[in-house]
Structure 1
């Protein structure tokens, strides 16, 4: 495998040409907003031109077949029945759609973790203010030694009042892959529904939603799948679909159609928007899957191997320990900053890396020591030399 990874490094300059990324920037933060290849953007532009040439024809005749085709192909990719999948603009909208649809009382509890994405934690707090539901936080240690610590921390906080668990599949702040299928199984055994924030999972790790067994699952297509911004999905288990409504109630609420479920009719049309990002999902799946001989499995493996190499390199140069086992890493990894950098303000360090050295990488605070984290991403256009440059710069900043 080492030889193959080395070969991919040699090809990275070719892959870089497939994106519109600024060549003067060392871009190591694919995880935040993704990056869409030129070929996929070209398809989106064709669709936008098609829309604007005859808007009434597009929305009256062409829009729904294109949306259904995207849904069908995405459903195959994530291991779900297309009837259980709808499009949303981003995973945060998916989380909000579920939380705002369900009914809670002051006697209920929603379980989450201290690694939950800030936007979704804000959604929980909003629901708590509206309904009185209690938000219970399972404290998962970081650094962490084993996925079993995640299981133990979450299950320990379950009570007879727990109605729902909101859990990340891949955490944003710490880059950890949670043992989500095991968590869901344990929670289901206690009659607790699960809402999984899979914002980073799609295109980073293999997905089979029917096997995972979540009640609700939402994920972004614009990150590791590399679709345009504004493409995401929400999966809802069939027996729960009648309860889940979109944030915007529109024509689907009283549509007389019987060829689709109310769930799809409501989410498919929430008013006029630009649906072309989601319509490009089939092109993104096909394009990214064509880059390496082994398709998507090889791409995921290649990105994971590169980020593990980069993590080891950075940890060695900065004299810090890896904060989690390799089995909890996908194509993002977090490196704790050493004591000499730990007290730096996270935004000032981010801005210095970008403005002075041309490095775009995620820098985040953490609740406990280590209090400063750098999160690196690996996509097919990245090279080992880019991480070597980041390590060199961080090492220099240690001594200044």
Structure 2
């Protein structure tokens, strides 16, 4: 190998196995200028958020109001992600055999710090569904065991519980959440009334995906634990969206989320938290004899997978922390209230999201009298170039509207105008 070739190889190898740790200068300077401003006040300062928007490769083809499914990564994160792909590819197996696992553990440790748990209680998965399925399928179910969940939970999870019922003879007990609860006690009682002596697991959404309703997780966990029932929390839309740690959730047993929604990681990463004392009893989906039963890594046998995504998690965390979760949550809640407050009392517009600010954040669901959700979503896109998603269920009929940090109030004003015109 020539001297030049060796230099190129070493440069590629070093590049693939190291990450810049300092925040991006432009973001640091921007946030530094408003460090004295409260999160609530800053949420309303359009000049600041217009500059934040410049960090995102936002489409100009339509107004993107469906960020809850998958939100684009910020441009600095995307640039680093593409660089990771190139650098890992340059040394291929060398990276996979020498650095892959250490780098993934670093990403895992940073995620655990954000969530407020030990790094040996958290693994990186592909998404929330995989994380929740790992728990649901990993419990040692017996015929007659019961699980409690809500009909508003994510459909794939309800399917997984149905599969356990077919396979093991378990019983699923469904509750139905009110769109406009009067109190936390109402929600807690709803779940408690479904618990019986045979109940083993209660699954609950931190934030209901179809309406954006935030549920009182700590109170639900405390109640369930009094009945010796484990709690699995679907946090798909909460992590990177709301300011919280595991301590705020009352010691829930399992927590799952996706990182491509609100943390801003490229597609292909999620997290699963398992409380330390719950790890030994869980069966892994894929066997790995090299890991003991009390080590959470036994649940994380992925085989060969796209490692650039694991590296990009660290970039997404740097961008996320550069803005700050309190500022982020305040802005997201402000954007939702900006449009919902303007249409909430319209006679032909139906909001399926609670009015109390603490019960929702970015996500809300809206319908129009006489229009099916699919029809409304189509009209919004065809006539106004506004992209949403139709939701039709027994209790929720409307479109889910999910702005993000790069959404402007002028875009939401267009949305409000569209709703009022379509509502007559």
Same fold? TM cut 0.5: yes
Find 2:289's aligned residue among 224, 233, 254. 254
Residue 12 of structure 1: aligned partner: 49
| CA pair 268-102 structure 1, distance change in 2 beyond 3 A | closer
Question: Is 1:287 aligned to 2:296, yes or no?
Answer: no
- Alpha-carbon shift at residue 14 of structure 1 (Å): 2.7
SS of alignment partner, residue 233 of structure 1:
strand
Question: Is 1:229 aligned to 2:267, yes or no?
Answer: yes
Tell me, which stretches of 5 or more residues in structure 2 are unaligned?
A: 1-37
Q: Spell out the pairing of 1:1-400 with structure 2 (5 A cutoff).
A: 4-7=42-45, 9-212=46-249, 213-249=251-287, 253-255=288-290, 262-264=295-297, 266-291=298-323, 295-317=324-346, 320=349, 322=351, 323-324=353-354, 325-335=356-366, 337-341=367-371, 344=372, 346-368=373-395, 372-399=397-424
Q: Distance in 1 between matches of 2:76 and 2:190?
A: 44
CA displacement, residues 278-321 of structure 1 (integer Å, 9 cap, x when unaligned): 32222112112223xxx221121121122122211232456546
Q: Distance in 2 between matches of 1:247 and 1:314?
A: 47
Q: Distance in 1 between matches of 2:248 and 2:380?
A: 42
- Alpha-carbon shift at residue 57 of structure 1 (Å): 1.0
Residue 16 of structure 2: aligned partner: none
Query: Are the counterparts in 2 of residues 289 and 299 from structure 1 also a CA contact under 8 Å?
Result: no
Q: Distance in 1 between matches of 2:136 and 2:41?
A: 47
- Structure with max Cα Rg: 2
What's the Cα RMSD here? 2.1
Q: Which runs of 4+ in 1 moved over 4 A?
A: 316-323
Q: Distance in 2 between matches of 1:176 and 1:147?
A: 12
Tell me, which stretches of 5 or more residues in structure 1 are unaligned?
A: none
Q: Distance in 2 between matches of 1:348 and 1:247?
A: 40
Q: Distance in 2 between matches of 1:338 and 1:351?
A: 13
Residue 23 of structure 2: aligned partner: none
- Alpha-carbon shift at residue 276 of structure 1 (Å): 2.1
SS of alignment partner, residue 271 of structure 2:
strand
SS of alignment partner, residue 234 of structure 1:
strand
Query: Are the counterparts in 2 of residues 245 and 263 from structure 1 also a CA contact under 8 Å?
Result: no
Query: Are the counterparts in 2 of residues 318 and 391 from structure 1 also a CA contact under 8 Å?
Result: no
Query: Are the counterparts in 2 of residues 140 and 149 from structure 1 also a CA contact under 8 Å?
Result: no
User: Which stretch of the first structure deviates more once superposed, 131-140 or 319-328?
Assistant: 319-328
CA displacement, residues 10-67 of structure 1 (integer Å, 9 cap, x when unaligned): 3333333222231221111211112211111112112211221122111111111110
CA displacement, residues 336-381 of structure 1 (integer Å, 9 cap, x when unaligned): x23233xx2x23332332233211123211314xx52232223211
CA displacement, residues 238-296 of structure 1 (integer Å, 9 cap, x when unaligned): 111123344333xxx222x78x96421x34442111022232222112112223xxx22
TM normalised by structure 2 equals 0.85
Q: Distance in 1 between matches of 2:182 and 2:61?
A: 38
TM normalised by structure 1 equals 0.90
